[in-house]
């Protein structure tokens, strides 16, 4: 008997929204390494085709980048149908694309609210529903959806070292999406569609690159592991939840935060 804990995604097809950079890129690579075809959804980056092609060559799997704004429900439905035809059948989704606006609450505008919520909440919903529609219509063995939420679904991550600056809409959007995850898990359990959330702490990506160096040090010092994570450290829990090892896991939120929620 073979020894070891093996996750083999041969024959699977995983869609990763925001899969061309940051945490999503690390996840795209991890699922490709496990043998899945990978569809990368991005919004505007110029190099997404090249990124997808490089992953395909490195891991010997089919990959393709699809330009699609996840806040556009019709476009998302069409894109998922196209992916299903070209790389599928789709078996998993990582709804990872997310954005933030950082400024004091008193200065936030309706446009700022819309910018954050149409991607972080509506975009996750559009992507999850597009995948679920395919699975429910096909009446096959279901699928797994993993949402990248954030530890800020539970706590307010203070971005100002001296005075509280909280990314108020980002924090609220992540609280909303963690509850959305539970609702979708409940509705779709009968179709054997599992929905879970992985909630990172601070990760070194473009999203955190603009942080003031003093704030970064202050925040890293608040993490029990005393550092920000690398994007690759966000992949293990997501890959596990996509796999059959997680066949009895749904509606959960799993924190990968260096211990930050201990305090
Ligand atoms: P990045 O800013 O590095 O990348 C964001 C990705 O989302 C890009 O691929 C971008 O595409 C894509 N994207 C943004 N808007 C849309 C849209 N409307 N439609 C389609 N794709 C879109 O983000 P991170 O890797 O840092 O974050 C990934 C997820 O993890 C987010 O949900 C974020 O909130 C969450 N997270 C991040 C943390 C961190 O510390 N970095 C901590 C906790 C959670 P394009 O390249 O084309 O712009």
Domain map (residue ranges) of the chain: 13-100+117-153+170-206+231-256
pLDDT of residue 210: 82
List, in sequence order, every residue forming a beta bridge with 194; answer none if it has no partner. Answer: 144
- 206 in contact with ligand 1, CB cutoff 6 A: yes
Tell me, using a 6 A CB cutoff, whether residue 119 lines ligand 1. yes
With a 6 Å cutoff on the Cβ, whether 258 touches ligand 1 is: no
Burial annotation 5-36 (CB, 10 A radius, 16+ → b, else e): eebebeebbbbbbbbbbbbbbbbbbbbbbbeb
β-bridge partners, 39: 15, 64
Cα of 99 vs centre of ligand 1, distance in Å, is 6
Q: What is the pLDDT of residue 140?
A: 64
What is the pLDDT at residue 56?
Answer: 98
ipTM score of complex? 0.99
- The CATH number for 13-100+117-153+170-206+231-256, chosen from 3.40.50.300, 3.40.50.720, 3.10.310.30, 3.30.1490.20, is 3.40.50.720
Residues of the chain with pLDDT under 50: none
- Site to probe by mutation for ligand 1, drawn from 39, 96, 97, 261 as the one with most ligand atoms within 8 Å of Cβ, is 97
> What pLDDT, on a 0 to 100 scale, did the predictor assign at position 163?
67
Query: Rounded to the nearest whole angstrom, what is the distance from the C-alpha of residue 66 to the centroid of ligand 1?
Result: 15
97 lines ligand 1 (CB under 6 A): yes
Q: What is the pLDDT of residue 162?
A: 64
Distance (angstroms) between ligand 1 centre and the Cα of 139 equals 32
202 given a catalytic annotation: no
pLDDT at 212: 83
User: Are 14 and 39 in contact, with CB atoms under 8 Å apart?
Assistant: yes
0.95 exceeded by the pTM? Answer: yes
Q: Is 243 in the active site?
A: no
- Residue environment code for 86-120, b if the CB has 16+ CB neighbours within 10 A, otherwise e: ebbbbbbbbbbbbbbbbeeeeeeeeebeebbbbbb
Longest pairwise C-alpha distance within the chain = 62
CA distance 63 to 57: 9
Ligand 1 proximity of 41 Cβ (cutoff 6 Å)? yes
């Amino acid at each position: 008997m073979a020894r070891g804990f093996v996750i083999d995604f041969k024959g699977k097809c995983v869609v990763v929204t925001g899969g061309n950079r940051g945490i999503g890129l690390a996840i795209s690579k991890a699922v490709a390494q496990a043998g899945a075809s990978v569809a990368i959804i991005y919004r505007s980056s110029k190099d997404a085709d090249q990124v997808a092609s490089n992953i395909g060559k490195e891991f010997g799997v089919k990959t393709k980048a699809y330009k699609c704004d996840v806040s556009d429900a019709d476009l998302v439905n069409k894109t998922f149908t196209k992916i299903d035809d070209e790389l599928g059948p789709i078996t998993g989704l990582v709804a990872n694309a997310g954005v933030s606006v950082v400024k004091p609450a008193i200065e936030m505008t309706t446009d700022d609210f819309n910018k954050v919520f149409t991607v972080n909440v509506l975009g996750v919903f559009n992507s999850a529903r597009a995948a679920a529609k395919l699975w429910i219509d096909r009446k096959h063995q279901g699928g797994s959806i993993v949402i990248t939420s954030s530890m800020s679904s539970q706590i307010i991550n203070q971005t100002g070292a001296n005075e509280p600056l909280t990314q108020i809409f980002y924090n609220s959007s992540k609280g909303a999406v963690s509850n959305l995850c539970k609702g979708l898990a409940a509705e779709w359990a009968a179709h054997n569609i599992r929905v879970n959330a992985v909630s990172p702490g601070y990760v070194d990506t473009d999203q955190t690159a603009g942080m003031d160096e003093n704030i970064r040090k202050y925040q890293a010092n608040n993490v029990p592991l005393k550092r920000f994570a690398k994007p690759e450290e966000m992949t293990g829990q997501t890959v596990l939840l996509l796999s059959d090892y997680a066949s009895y896991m749904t509606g959960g939120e799993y924190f990968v935060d260096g211990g930050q929620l201990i305090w």
